[in-house]
Amino acid sequence: MAIKRAIALLLLAAAALCAQVSYHGGPVLNSPITVYLVWYGTPDSTFKTQMENFISLVGASPNFKVITQYAAADGLPVTGQVSFGGSLVLPETYGPTPNGPQYQQILQSALLTYPLIKTGAVSAGVALTTSSYYIVFAGPGVSFGGVEGAHGAYIDQITGLYIWQAEINSLSATIVFHELAESLADPVNVNGGGWFGGGEVADLCQGGTPGNLTLGAYTYSLQPLWSNIDSACVLALPSPLLSNLRPSARSRGTVRTRGTTRNR
């Protein structure tokens, strides 16, 4: 056993030298989260059902557990525990191309139905965080911008709480997987000091060979995620021996938040 552990430590050290993401001192979503799906405009009914199933089950998958190797400044890792909180269909109040302030109003409408769940202070101490997470889907004929997906955070001016969110302009499960995984490891996006390097954990593997994941009655084609432990893009959780040897946090930075991001 000692020999195996020594080998594992050597492999981890080698992987760290090649690691393409590092921790920058900001928020990491390392508590279980409840995901709410918000549909701006009439959704595709089949895709809506598929996404509700996906969010309900993906947290327990080996694909999603890849992100559990990334920890916050307090040493607590991302749990990868995701639960489905509900779906909300909203009318196209702001037309087919809502701007930034209008998009925030869409989120505020969602909060009236699914309020923020307070969980305590983030590790960087800049604001209270929540375990609520909102994915806003553009309905047919609607666009939130020129990318398939984006994620980021707003700070609610009334409560001072982070509103974690992603916006999706695609009928693709892998785009949802991409943004959700990055949100846990780097929820404010690269301006906020989570885990990133040459890109975020999904950006680095975008275009990599996908794999099929069956969850309940549906099978989804999902991209790989970056693993510092493997120093590669992977489709499943690293081996148990290595996954217990988590990379330590690097330098702590200053958390900066802007309204939203347009980074895939």
162-168 and 149-155 as β-strands: parallel, antiparallel, unpaired?
Answer: antiparallel
Sequence-distant (6+) residues with CB within 8 A of 244 are none
| Cβ proximity of 106 and 40 under 8 Å | yes
In this prediction the pTM is: 0.82
* 114 domain-assigned: yes
pLDDT of 264 reads 39
Q: How far apart are alpha carbons 97 and 129 in whole angstroms?
A: 29
Q: Is the pLDDT of residue 92 over 80?
A: yes
Establish if 108 belongs to a structural domain. Answer: yes
Q: How confident is the model at residue 72 (pLDDT cuts 50, 70, 90)?
A: confident
Average pLDDT value for residue range 239-261? 37
Average pLDDT, integer, range 43-71: 96
The per-residue pLDDT for 125 is 41
Question: Looking at the domain assignment, is residue 256 inside a domain?
Answer: no
Interval 100-143: pLDDT, tens: 889 989 998 898 898 887 765 444 444 456 789 999 999 999 99
Query: 30 near 76, Cβ under 8 Å?
Result: yes
Residue 257 lies in a domain: no
Give the per-residue pLDDT at 261: 33
Question: 137 vs 248, which has greater pLDDT?
Answer: 137
Structural domain includes residue 46 = yes
Q: What is the pLDDT of residue 19?
A: 54
Mean pLDDT of 176-187: 95
How many folded domains does the chain comprise?
Answer: 1
pLDDT digits (tens, 9 = 90+) for 10-40: 444 444 445 589 998 888 888 889 999 999 9
The answer to whether residue 139 sits within a structural domain is: yes
Q: What is the token pair recorded at 30? A: 């390392």
Sign of CA dihedral 162, 163, 164, 168: negative
User: Would residue 248 count as lying in a domain?
Assistant: no
Of the candidates 203, 255, 208, 181, which has an alpha carbon nearest to the alpha carbon of residue 23?
Answer: 255
- Domain containing 42 equals 2-243
In a domain, 210, yes or no: yes
- Is pLDDT above 50 for 242? no
CB 151 within 8 A of CB 179: yes
